[in-house]
Structures are given as structure tokens and as C-alpha cells.
Structure 1
Amino acid sequence: MVDKQRDFVLRTIEERGIKFVRLWFTDVVGTLKSVAIAPAEVEGAFAEGIGFDGSAIEGYTRSYEADVLAMPDPGTFQILPWRGEIDPTARMFCDILTPDGQPAAADPRNVLKRALAKANDAGFTFYTHPEIEFYLLKSSSFDSGGPVPVDSAGYFDNVPGGTAHDFRRRSVRMLEDLGISVEFSHHEAGPGQNEIDLRYADALTTADNIMTFRTVIKEVAIEQGVYATFMPKPLSGQPGSGMHTHMSLFEGDSNAFFSASGEYHLSTIGRRFIAGLLRHAPEITAVTNQFVNSYKRLWGGDEAPSYVCWGHNNRSALVRVPLYKPTKGQSSRVEYRAIDSAANPYLAYALMLAAGLKGIEEGYELPAEAEDDVWSLSDGERRALGYDPLPANLDSAIRLMEESELVAETLGERVFRHVLANKRREWEAYRAQVTPYELASNLELL
């Protein structure tokens, strides 16, 4: 299979006159990295990889073990449509290897592959479907001192001649050209906020697609003279940008979450998977919501989940069981609503899967569902119902993560230590800032 994929890549490069091939991978934070090679080097890259200095990449290696290899995955080969016919360019995602050919411990793609292999050993295939939100801003935002949205439209609004229509149409077309299937696209609730939902795929393909998606959105924004941001909460008083992810486990061709006789047609496996997500949600939040700004979204209202609970079609819950389609048992799934659009998808999906699998392995019992609007309850009512809060800020999330055996085991020691170190640096830098809010509130008064 791999040999056929490699032959297809080499043949396509020749037939389409590809001039450059970009090899893509991510660092531990989820920043996309790229190195371009000439077509003549691709066959050698398949055989031996492309060496580079891993110590220069966030979280990869220490200086005394710097050399690593980028090994292109031929199954991810795609021609980049925004490059056009002048110097046609393609890309492939890479697995990062050590010089002796072993998977590099700090490669986020390898972290997800390990988690998927564990699920496979238990007989499961993990599928995901993300709803990705982002803001479109006027490029003049950087001159005006703050973000300026491209429109003042709201949820599902149809704006004749609006920037967002052309933007989404162009983006969806480009994603389809890259082999990434899109299910929905629409204007979201915030001014200039948009959402594009990708179709279900296995989790590794989805994570690769999310990294490609972010690049496409940025490229189309540049092309159309606007700026796209996946910052979780760029505008005060407006909704943040989440990446609600629908998940399901399959055993062969059967959806393991489906039971014709279960409540909401949810199987015991599905219930225990949700229970695992709920129990471990606080300790994985430093990864699913990895920036200081992420907590402005989680605790800023506007439908972001702040408390650990689940519900059937309850959008105020952390985990939602979407309305079941009676004729589509295969569509049974659960939706995790905390993760934001700036998460590293490889690490986040690895941890979400690990939490769910832990619930299955240990037979966790699912607590009673949240039937009320969780946001409208008082703190006392939420405590009485057992709805614990998610971490209130990045510092709290770090403290919970560093005590987590599940996170340490899933990420591996190298990634675990580096994520903690990176997030601690961010929190310390943030804590040292004197903010405009403090100046406006205190400078003249005190």
C-alpha cells in the first residue's frame, strides 16, 4: 500500500510539473512547520527522510541529541491550490523519527498515533468531526490598536455581498480541492465570526486536516485582504471561538456508541466513554485549552462550557449527546464542547481518546445528566448537583495537569514535561503584565 502511494506521488509530481514539495509537521504547541524540497529529492526523502536540527523546534529535542528525520507520509500528498500554476507546489505531512528510525518521543503526530494504536488494540477505531470557529478581522485592526471585525452580522445571517460569503465559498472550494470534505459553513454569533465543519474522518486524518484548514483560512484571508484568527477570545463581550468535536468509536463497521435499547440509543461503551471524558476533563484542559486567552472564552459566557456535566442535546453541558437520528444508528456520537480552535489537535485528540478509553477500561459510571440550563443555576445549585467547574485559568489547569497520570502516560515524558514548561512560561509572562483594564480602573483612582 505504501509503495503504491509513493509511486503515485512520484508519478503525480512528474505529470503535474510540481516544482516544490513542502514537508509539514508541528511543534508541541501546534505551530505548523515546513521545509521545501525539490522534486528530485522526494524519492530519497521516502527512503531516508530529511534531517534537521530538532533542538530548534519547540519541544522536540535537547541540544545534545538534536538530529531528527522528517519522514513524509505519502498518503497525505496534496497539491496546494493557492499556489496556482506558477511553480506548482505540493505538501505532505511527516512523521518525525530519531536517527535510528524510531518514532521521536516529542512528535505530536506520534503521540496521537500511539493513542490510536491503544484504541485499536482494544478493537476500536476513533472517528472525529470538528466544528471550527474563527474570526475575520479587517487588516486595519493592527493600525487601529484593536481587532475590528469585517462585519456586524450574527448567527446564520445572510449578508448580501458580505465579505464572509465570498470568503467561505473560496475556502470551502480550496479545502475540497485538497481532499478535505466540508459538511457545513455559516456565519457564527459574533461579528466577523464564521464556522466551517469538517466531515467525519479517523482522528489522525482529522488532525492533519485541521492543520491544513488553518493554513487554507489564513491564505484565503491574505488573498482577500482581511485577517483570520483562531484566537479563542479576540473580542471582549463577544463569543469565543471553539472547536466542538463530535466523537465515536467503531468496532469494525459497527458504531460502538449505538444501542437500540439504550437511553438516547447510547450503549454502555458510549456511556462509559462520556464518564471518562467528564472525570478527566479538568486535567486535560491545559491541552484542549492551552493559552491564557482560552480561559477568557471558557469563563466569558456566550455558551462556552464552564462546568463538568453532560446532557442530551443540552448546549450548556461540557459533553452533549446530539439528537439521535432514528434511521441512522451509525451516527451515534458524543460532542466535547470545551476544546477551542487554537488547540494542538494531535495532543488534544490523543487525550480526549485516552480519557474516554479510561472510562471504558475502568467501567466508570455515568452521573445523572444535566437537564437544566447549567449557566442559569446558582453556584450553590451547581455544587448540590455535583457540577464541578473546569479550571478558571491557565495556572489552575497546569496544576491539575501536572498531577495527572493519564496525561503523563498519554503524552509521554518528553511532551508532558515540555507542555508544562511552555505553559508555565506563558502564565508567568501573563501574570507580570499590567493590563489596560488595571490602568483604566486604578491609575487615576489610586
Structure 2
Amino acid sequence: MDTIDELLSFLEEEDVRFIRLTFYDMYGVQKNISILPDLLPRALQEGIAIDTFAIPSLSARSGNTLYLKPDPKTMSVLPWRSNEGNVISLICSIYEADGSPCAYDGRRMLQETLKEAVQSDLFLNLSTQFEFYLFLQDEMGNDTHRPLDYASFMDVAPEDKGENIRRDICLTLSEMGLQPQASYHQAGFGQNEIDFHSSSPLQAADEAMIFKWVVKILANANGLFADFSPKPLENGPGNGMHIKFSFSKHENRKKIESFIAGILQHIRAMTLFLNPINASYARFGKEKAPDHITWSYEFPYELIHIDPKNKHIFELRSPDPQCNPYLCFSLLIKAGMDGIAQDLVLERPLGATCDLGTIQRLPKNKEEAYACAINDQWLLSIVPRELIELYR
């Protein structure tokens, strides 16, 4: 839906009975309030008031009342809630009582960053690749850490018991207007991966948020527990949220390299947000997860891998699914823009003869990541100190 009028017409034509106004706190945790259709015009024009007293990352600001204004472009029909009239979901922007944007709205932060990118003549698309585990629930419906299967990388049924639910997830996402691209069994017992098509950074972040919610709902409906934590099993591979950056084939190569160099220069400062919980750091350096600040054409498991056949595309492999995609995409794009502004030179790629002992590493724990963030002048120039403190 591109306009308010189109959205209101859709409500009437498609017998919409219920509307979920979705928003996200600064940690990327989904929240919502449900309204009836007759309240939507007010929500679109004035916003719906919410009390943020019990939402820590939003109550940190002064005042407890914020207002949600839905974005018509994010409308999706919820396929599993359509027995008696349709239910739709809308992602909201968050505003203060005086009508100003909330400084703690990650989606707004990304939108502002994208405006800056356009002004700098920078255009790119992003896509995500999510890893997650499927565990069994017990007879009482409680979550366990017993894997759904004991299959290995890219196995097929009957060893791969997640094939059907992955298909259901992808078909449901497609019904909702999202763009999954591929799905398969990952290397861990009960571990799966679903990848998305490339899209605008804002759409990619919206889809990443909705994706995790859909997976959890469909898993639970099938007696399963979907675990997106970075290290669910001590002796198993961790879960990553790899981010693929795509530039135009005609983009200046030096500009792309400076963008990558900017990310590498600022990655230690950003890691607190890309890997926000203690368990995030148990994943680094194990089972093909990166821990050195390097890039490569040849080795696909380094921090940044550049596609040797399509050098306008590269993948960042350190983030995990616990991050807030809005905030992380914003920071990564700003880091790349800073690299371009400084005209940074991309150092030589990792080679087979490199001495890893001489290469800088990602923070080894959350305490180190916090120290890197709170003491970094570049990060402090774009992120309020209070926000860094929230992630401590």
C-alpha cells in the first residue's frame, strides 16, 4: 500500500477486522498494540498513544508516553489469522508527544541514514541470511534443547526433518509480500538457514524483523521452539545473521572498496550492537564464525567475503540474529560512508601465508565490546552515549 487512501480502501474491500500496530524497542524486540479498523484513520493522522513505562529501552528517555504512526507501505495480511475476516499488520514509526521523531526509534535512525546516503550519491541494497535452530517442545509445550533432527549441511529428508516447516515458512512469508530466496539445513543438529532477496536497506530490515516473528509462530504451531540465539548449543555451530551488501555493477570500484574499509575500521566499535548479548562472543572463532578483522576473495568464512565474480557484492559475517537490524544497518552504512569520506584504502586481502597473530581481532567478550564503543569518538558522534549505555 503506497497511500493512506489505498490502505483504507483495502480494509473495506478485504473485510479487515483487526489491525496489529507493530513497533520495536531499541534492542529490536517486537512489541504491538491491536486496534479495530475504525481507529486506523486516527492512528495514521495523529498516532496511537502508548505507555512506555515498562519498556526499558524506551522509558530511558524523559516522559512515558509515545505515539505510534503506522507506515502504509508495510501492510501485510497475517495468513494464520484469517478465518473470520482478515488481520493485518503495520510497522509503525515512533513519535514524541510534540510530534517530533523519537530519538530511540531504530527504524527512524535507518531512514535518516538512508537520506544522508542519497545526498552523498550512495545507493545500495541489502539482504540477510538467517541461521536458527529448531528444537522440540515437551508434552507440556515447554521448550527444550533437543534438536528436531540430527542431519548435517544441506541434507535432505528423511534425515532433514525441517524441510516441511521451512517450506511453510517461505510460503507464508511470500503470502505476506516478503521475499525469501533459499532455504536449507545448516551444519548443526536441528539448524536451518533461510536467505532473502536483495532489497532496499529499510525493506530488508523490515523483512528481517517480520521473519523472526513468523518463524517463531509457525514453529510453535508445529510443537517446536525456534532459537535465534547466537550459541544455542555449547558444542554446536552458532547462529549468524549474515548481511550481504549489493552495489550497482557500474558503481566506482574505489568507492566500494572505501566503503568496505570504513566498515573494517569501525567494526570493533560497532560490535556491541551487532553482537549484543554475552553469548554472542562464544560464537566467534568457532565453526566458521569469524573473529579476525579481515576480508578475502578466496576464503568465504572471513569477516568480509567479496564475491570474486561479482566484486560489487560483499558479505559481512559477524552479526548475529539478536541484533536490531534497523540500528545495525544504519551504523554499517554510516561506517561505509565515513570510509568513502576519508577516501580509505582497502588493505590487501587475507592470503594463505598471512600470520593471523598479527591481525586485529573482534572483541572477545561483551565487556571489551562496550569499552570499544564507549571510547570511540566516531561512534559517539553518531550514537547518543545513553544508547551505548543501554547496551552495556
TM range (shorter): over 0.9
Distance apart, 1:70 and its partner CA: 0.4
Which of 327, 331, 345 is 1:351 aligned to?
Answer: 331
Kindly tell me: are residues 143 and 337 of structure 1, through their superposed partners in 2, closer, same or farther at Cα, counting changes over 3 Å? same
Query: Is the CA contact (8 Å cut-off) linking 1:82 and 1:219 kept in structure 2?
Result: no
Corresponding residue of 1:406: 378
SS at match of 1:390: coil
Deviation by residue 1:182-201 (Cα, 9 ceiling, x = unmatched): 11100001010000001001
Query: Is the CA contact (8 Å cut-off) linking 1:141 and 1:147 kept in structure 2?
Result: no
Distance 1:399 1:84 in 2: 48
SS at match of 1:59: helix
Distance 1:303 1:52 in 2: 43
Q: Is the counterpart of residue 342 in structure 1 residue 322 in structure 2?
A: yes
- Which structure has the larger Rg over C-alpha atoms? 1
Query: Is the CA contact (8 Å cut-off) linking 1:154 and 1:190 kept in structure 2?
Result: yes
Corresponding residue of 1:177: 175
Distance 1:230 1:349 in 2: 19
Which of 124, 127, 130 is 1:126 aligned to?
Answer: 124
TM-score norm. by structure 1 comes to 0.84
Query: Is the CA contact (8 Å cut-off) linking 2:151 and 2:159 kept in structure 1?
Result: no
SS at match of 2:146: coil
Deviation by residue 1:210-259 (Cα, 9 ceiling, x = unmatched): 11000110111011111101001101111101011111345xxx652xx5
Q: CA RMSD in A?
A: 2.1
SS at match of 1:275: helix
Query: Is the CA contact (8 Å cut-off) linking 2:137 and 2:144 kept in structure 1?
Result: no
Corresponding residue of 2:299: 314
Query: Is the CA contact (8 Å cut-off) linking 1:241 and 1:340 kept in structure 2?
Result: yes
Distance 1:34 1:406 in 2: 34
Distance 1:162 1:87 in 2: 36
Distance 2:115 2:308 in 1: 30
Distance apart, 1:141 and its partner CA: 10
Q: Is the counterpart of residue 110 in structure 1 residue 108 in structure 2?
A: yes
Query: Is the CA contact (8 Å cut-off) linking 1:115 and 1:410 kept in structure 2?
Result: no
Unmatched tracts of structure 1, length 5 or more? 260-266, 326-330, 425-446
Corresponding residue of 2:277: 291
Distance apart, 1:62 and its partner CA: 4.5
Which of 222, 239, 255 is 1:241 aligned to?
Answer: 239
Distance 1:212 1:315 in 2: 28
Distance 2:327 2:230 in 1: 17
Corresponding residue of 2:357: 383
Which of 191, 200, 203 is 2:201 aligned to?
Answer: 203
Distance 2:257 2:139 in 1: 46
Query: Is the CA contact (8 Å cut-off) linking 2:135 and 2:144 kept in structure 1?
Result: no
Distance 2:360 2:187 in 1: 27
Query: Is the CA contact (8 Å cut-off) linking 1:350 and 1:410 kept in structure 2?
Result: no
SS at match of 2:152: coil
Query: Is the CA contact (8 Å cut-off) linking 2:231 and 2:239 kept in structure 1?
Result: yes
Q: Please identify runs of 4+ aligned residues in structure 1 that moved more than 6 A.
A: 141-145
SS at match of 1:303: coil
Which of 219, 223, 226 is 2:224 aligned to?
Answer: 226
Q: Which moved more, 1:355-364 or 1:313-322?
A: 313-322
Corresponding residue of 2:54: 56
Distance 2:142 2:38 in 1: 47
Counterpart residue identity of residue 386, structure 2: R
SS at match of 2:147: coil
Corresponding residue of 2:262: 276
Percent identity, aligned pairs only? 30
Greater helix content: 1
Deviation by residue 1:118-147 (Cα, 9 ceiling, x = unmatched): 111101223101111100001139999961
Q: What count of residue pairs does the alignment treat as equivalent? A: 392
Distance apart, 1:161 and its partner CA: 7.7
Unmatched tracts of structure 2, length 5 or more? none
TM-score norm. by structure 2 comes to 0.95
Kindly tell me: are residues 370 and 62 of structure 1, through their superposed partners in 2, closer, same or farther at Cα, counting changes over 3 Å? closer
Kindly tell me: are residues 21 and 86 of structure 1, through their superposed partners in 2, closer, same or farther at Cα, counting changes over 3 Å? same
Corresponding residue of 1:440: none
Kindly tell me: are residues 156 and 22 of structure 1, through their superposed partners in 2, closer, same or farther at Cα, counting changes over 3 Å? same
Query: Is the CA contact (8 Å cut-off) linking 1:111 and 1:346 kept in structure 2?
Result: yes
